[in-house]
Structure 1
Amino acid sequence: MATPRDAVQPITSRSVVEQATDELRRSILAGVLAPGEQYSLRELAGMLDVSFIPIREALRSLEGEGLVITRPGRSAVITPLNLDDLHGIYRLRRTLEPEIAGRACGLLTEQELDRLDAQAAGFGLRERGMADIYDGHDAFHLALLAPAATAWDIRVLTLLWRAGERYIRIGFGRLDPDPAEHERRRKAHVDLVAAFRTRRAATAAAAVEQHLARNEKIAIGALSAASGA
């Protein structure tokens, strides 16, 4: 008699659906697939050189992340940038992240703080724009919060970070040509690590709150500029 172990096949490579989802997500977050633009399944399948089926499954996942809006007739619209959505993302982030930071600052080891301090310093290199540092940027913030974050905290924060990523990439990308912005970026993240190193919950929470407020302000400015407001 066959057992579940016999029936379940080991995974030897990433599925086409997973690969399609990751590449479409990357293209949306980077702005390659522009907000508000409509694409047919045929267009997307042609871009990725796959069949309709993995594209359809990928779009279902991305719709759940708020990145696309599927339309009847085999098409999808890249979710437009929206000021109310941006405020909502940051309202939820300010509810969660400072509180987690207040607990995490007492749990991080000195070795981990040293590692994060070195990573923060790297964010200020002039040759590194926002597109170059973004994946490491998310990992940096997750590492600061991880000791006190539950699995559900991480799931929710990951969703919020992905939802806000387009706004942040656009906002900070507009500032990349300014050499002073790179030093500010370095200092902002080094200061975060220093706040956590105090081991004082109120200090770490306030630093995260200030960091979020600054990011939201820059994202709002970018959104206003993009809309011509």
Structure 2
Amino acid sequence: MTEPLDQLRPARRQTLSEQVFDTLSEMLLSGALRPRDRLSLRDLAERLEVSMMPVREAVSRLAASGALEVSPKRAVMVPLMTAVEFADLTMVRMLNEGQAARLAAERASKTEIAGVVALAERFEEVLDKAYGSAAAVAANKDLHFAVYRAAGSPALMEVITMLWLKAGPIINFDIGVDTGAPRSEDITHARSHHSRAHHRQLCEALRARDGDTAARAIAEDIRVASELIRAHGALDTDDNPRRIIP
């Protein structure tokens, strides 16, 4: 009879390609990369101290999902997105991320809920002190992904992560990254930011195990952010299709 341990295989170490993929993914999720940003494969390889092969493999994976765009000349760019494409992506995010919040309300442990509440408080603190900063973007992402992990659905988490890879370069402008606004305007925006109210609603819903309200809070957070971005974002009409760009 085969012993259970006989079926084990050596632990798989993360390949260089996976490390590069994770690094680029985090840059997309955090808004460090923005629409129209161009990437040099050679520069990436040099900065990450790897050969060109793992960089090409990682970029190919992200391009296959639509998070990056590779031209016939092998130039790599963060793609632009038409207003219609952005609206469609927003709808899909509302459905999937709303469902994740609903599941989190039903399945999350008390410890996970406490963690989400702490991250919501952290987001408000950072928003007041550093509106428009990378720290504010990171705090918002950390909060959202804590909720999605608490849903306990690896398949749904995978879908949501892929959606954020596409949306990240745009949606993070809702928090005012590099808007160039005067400091007084930054403070006003921070104190009235819509996510503050939606995150509070979410936390109350999680505590009450109210899945429907949790789903609505996340969906509304996404919807309002999308409308603000579409209303205030610059539009590129050189080739006729309206494209949302920062």
Moved more, 40-49 or 107-116: 40-49
Deviation at 1:57, TM superposition (A): 1.0
Please state how far the C-alpha of 1:167 moved relative to its aligned partner: 1.2
Match of 2:234 in 1: 225
Q: What is the Cα deviation at residue 58 of structure 1? A: 1.7
Query: How far off is 1:60 after superposition?
Result: 0.7
Residue 200 of structure 2 corresponds to residue 190 of structure 1: yes
**Compared CA separation, residues 85 and 133, structure 1 to 2 (3 A):** same
Provide the TM-score with structure 1 as the length reference.
Answer: 0.77
Of 161, 164, 175, which aligns to 2:164? 161
How far apart are 1:43 and its partner, in Å?
4.6
Q: How much does 1:9 deviate?
A: 7.9
CA RMSD of aligned residues (A): 3.3
- Whether the 8 Å contact between 2:21 and 2:58 is mirrored in structure 1 is yes
Which one of the candidate residues 203, 206, 216 is aligned to 1:206? Answer: 216
Structure 1 position 172 matched with structure 2 position 175: yes
**Is this contact kept in 2: 1:38–1:77, CA < 8 A?**
yes
TM-score (norm 2): 0.73
Shift of 1:159: 0.8
SS in 2 for 1:20: helix
Match of 2:20 in 1: 20
Q: Kindly, what percent of the aligned residue pairs are identical?
A: 24
CA gap of 1:39–1:211, structure 2 versus 1, over 3 A, is closer
**Is the aligned partner of 1:124 residue 2:133?**
no
Kindly state the Cα deviation for residue 146 of structure 1 after the two structures are TM-superposed.
3.6
Change in 2 beyond 3 A, CA 1:219/1:45: same
- Give the Cα–Cα distance (whole angstroms) in 2 for the partners of residues 203 and 27 of structure 1: 31
Letter in 2 for 1:128: A
- Measured after TM superposition, the shift of residue 115 of structure 1 is 2.9
Question: How far apart, in 2, do the equivalents of 1:61 and 1:9 lie?
Answer: 23
Distance 1:144 1:33, change over 3 A: closer
Amino acid at match of 1:157: I
Amino acid at match of 1:94: M
Deviation of 1:153 (Å)? 0.7
The answer on whether the counterparts of 1:172 and 1:218 sit within 8 Å (CA) in structure 2 is: no
Task: Report the CA distance between 1:136 and its aligned residue.
Answer: 4.1
In 1, the alpha carbon distance for the partners of 2:211 and 2:134 equals 31
Whole-angstrom CA distance in 2 between matches of 1:161 and 1:42: 26
Secondary structure of the structure 2 residue equivalent to 1:154: helix
SS, match of residue 129 in structure 2: coil
Runs of 4+ deviating beyond 6 Å: 3-6
Listed as ranges, the matches of 1:1-229 within 5 Å are 11=13, 14-28=14-28, 33-125=33-125, 126-129=128-131, 130-174=133-177, 177=183, 178-183=186-191, 184=193, 185-222=195-232, 224-225=233-234, 227=236
> Structure 1, residues 123-155: CA drift from partner, whole Å, max 9, x if none?
112233452143443332233344444221111
May I ask how many residue pairs the two structures share in their alignment?
223
Separation in 1 of the partners of 2:7 and 2:108?
41
